[in-house]
Structure 1
Amino acid sequence: MNVLVVLAVILFILMTLIGGKKGAKSFLAIFFNFAVLLLIILLMNDPNLDPIILTFIACILISCITLFFINEVNSKTTIAFLSTLITIVILLFFIVVVNKMAMIQGFGEEEIEELSSYSLYIGIDFVKIGASVIIMSTIGAIVDVAISIASPMREIYLHNPSISRKALFKAGISIGKDILGTSANTLFFAFFGSYLGLLIWFKDLSYSLGEIVNSKIFNAEMITILWAGIGVAMNIPITAWITAAFLVKKKEEKTG
């Protein structure tokens, strides 16, 4: 039996045993999200379709699957979904601008030899493709942070309905501070582990530290890590503010 199938079965069994029905849904969500990514990648081959718009649509679908399919539609998932979309819109705008200035789009000189036999005139804007790659790399972490803040804030409100909007917002920021450090480190080591082969390649090419730092490939990966951290950090106050405003407004409408 294929190793992938065996590992998938083991993962499904563990997720179902530990998470029950929600664990089984989480397992299925992995394949649904993969299908979304695959579809978007295929659509990006069409030069008439804007990669940024396709990326935003993919983020909406992935957020819906991750939040609503697994945790159903409720106040905390709705808030997490809204804050995720706001964060993605802000990130997309700044990523396109900064990436164009940094000129990290396209391929580095280390990749030219392997690509020399292919035509690079494929009619696709690599600045937008680069922005899409960064967003796709961070969407999971942003959704995770959003639900990780909205859920405990909702519990705080349910146990203390008289809490003010300001106090609830501060509680959300306090929760976010605890999440920020671990999320940033998780992103860093995830990217670092994925591109460990790149660093070994640099060593085999006898690159100096200066050449590594100025390498286009290295800069592209580091910028991706930094944007991921910025997205996570930015998502914390956005989620905390929306959650506090929504829950307190809901209470005021009931009492009013």
Structure 2
Amino acid sequence: MNVLVLLAAILFILMVVIGGKKGVRSFFSLFLNFIVILITVILMTSQNANPIILTIIACAAISCINLFYINKVNSKTITAFISTVVTISILIFVIYIITKKAMIQGFGEEEVEELSIFSLYLGVDFIKISAAVIIMSTIGAITDVAISITSPMREIYEYHPTITRKELFTSGMNIGKDILGSNTNTLFFAFIGGYLGLLIWFKDLSYSFGDIVNSKVFGAEMITIFCAGIGIAFIIPIAAWVNAYYLVRKKK
């Protein structure tokens, strides 16, 4: 516990020194997001609760915290929020269909032995739970890319107010191309870091490459990465178009 407090204090000091008031809001947004997720998980365990609907509401709340609470309400956060809502709306159907067809719901055989003493009759739809997990995993990356595009586009527009909508959209796309690869690789390395122990266990169990690829645990995480990557690719043109349309229309 002392280590957690020390690390939290170091993080808070660095965010205040570097980010100022915005750094303070960013620090407290971590706890707000945690509270939102905790409430969502608690509500999912209740009867007749739809995990996907609860996740959509939670994603909307998280987006508001990450965009409006940290960066306040302005043109760049409004367009980033609209872009996030549009992208998530497209991804919901894709994620649910992929989760159902790939049958990644539930627990993998590597986890069954540890869970054998517990009852698995939880009264929840594991397909919807798996889809909710993937949706929740993509929201952070999507909002990050959205604000990373709308913020520099707003700066470009302020310094070049005579720029056309097409030129502003092209600038947004060029910005998105620069951050597409780095954000996708960030998702991949986050998976490798979180499941490095599992990969070592696969090696100790003499899993072949085919066994690893076809295992439910590995498949579920890779599908999550791919869905998040699809979301990042989707939101780049959406955010660029919405922001260009909003800024030029506001000027007129």
Q: Work out whether the TM-score is over 0.5.
A: yes
- Could you tell me which amino acid in structure 2 is paired with residue 163 of structure 1? I
The equivalent of 1:5 in structure 2 is: 5
**Offset at residue 228 of structure 1 (A):** 0.9
* CA distance in structure 2 between the partners assigned to 1:221 and 1:198 by the alignment: 12
Q: Which runs of 5+ in 2 are unaligned?
A: none
The equivalent of 1:58 in structure 2 is: 58
- 1:166 partnered with 2:166: yes
* CA distance in structure 2 between the partners assigned to 1:176 and 1:192 by the alignment: 24
* CA distance in structure 2 between the partners assigned to 1:69 and 1:186 by the alignment: 25
CA deviation profile, 1:77-105 (whole Å, cap 9, x unmatched): 01111111111111111100111011111
Aligned length: 252
CA deviation profile, 1:28-50 (whole Å, cap 9, x unmatched): 00011011111101111113111
The equivalent of 1:242 in structure 2 is: 242
* CA distance in structure 2 between the partners assigned to 1:191 and 1:234 by the alignment: 21
The equivalent of 1:111 in structure 2 is: 111
**Offset at residue 12 of structure 1 (A):** 0.3
* CA distance in structure 2 between the partners assigned to 1:175 and 1:37 by the alignment: 31
- Could you tell me which amino acid in structure 1 is paired with residue 148 of structure 2? S
CA deviation profile, 1:156-193 (whole Å, cap 9, x unmatched): 11111111111111110000000101101111101111
- 1:38 partnered with 2:33: no
* CA distance in structure 1 between the partners assigned to 2:207 and 2:98 by the alignment: 27
**Offset at residue 61 of structure 1 (A):** 0.6
* CA distance in structure 1 between the partners assigned to 2:105 and 2:128 by the alignment: 8
* CA distance in structure 1 between the partners assigned to 2:88 and 2:123 by the alignment: 25
Q: Which secondary structure does the structure 1 equivalent of 2:177 belong to?
A: helix
- Could you tell me which amino acid in structure 2 is paired with residue 246 of structure 1? Y
The equivalent of 1:137 in structure 2 is: 137
* CA distance in structure 2 between the partners assigned to 1:182 and 1:241 by the alignment: 22
* CA distance in structure 2 between the partners assigned to 1:201 and 1:45 by the alignment: 31
* CA distance in structure 2 between the partners assigned to 1:39 and 1:114 by the alignment: 26
Q: After the TM superposition, which residues 212-231 of structure 1 pair with which residues of structure 2 at under 5 Å, given as runs?
A: 212-231=212-231
**Offset at residue 206 of structure 1 (A):** 1.5
* CA distance in structure 2 between the partners assigned to 1:62 and 1:56 by the alignment: 10
- 1:184 partnered with 2:181: no
* CA distance in structure 1 between the partners assigned to 2:198 and 2:44 by the alignment: 26
* CA distance in structure 1 between the partners assigned to 2:36 and 2:231 by the alignment: 21
* CA distance in structure 1 between the partners assigned to 2:77 and 2:87 by the alignment: 15
Q: Which runs of 5+ in 1 are unaligned?
A: none
Q: Which secondary structure does the structure 2 equivalent of 1:49 belong to?
A: coil
Q: Which moved more, 1:133-142 or 1:145-154?
A: 133-142
**Offset at residue 149 of structure 1 (A):** 0.3
The equivalent of 1:73 in structure 2 is: 73
Q: Which secondary structure does the structure 2 equivalent of 1:48 belong to?
A: coil
The equivalent of 1:197 in structure 2 is: 197
Runs of 4+ displaced beyond 4 Å = none
* CA distance in structure 2 between the partners assigned to 1:226 and 1:127 by the alignment: 18
* CA distance in structure 1 between the partners assigned to 2:153 and 2:103 by the alignment: 41
TM-score by length of 2: 0.97
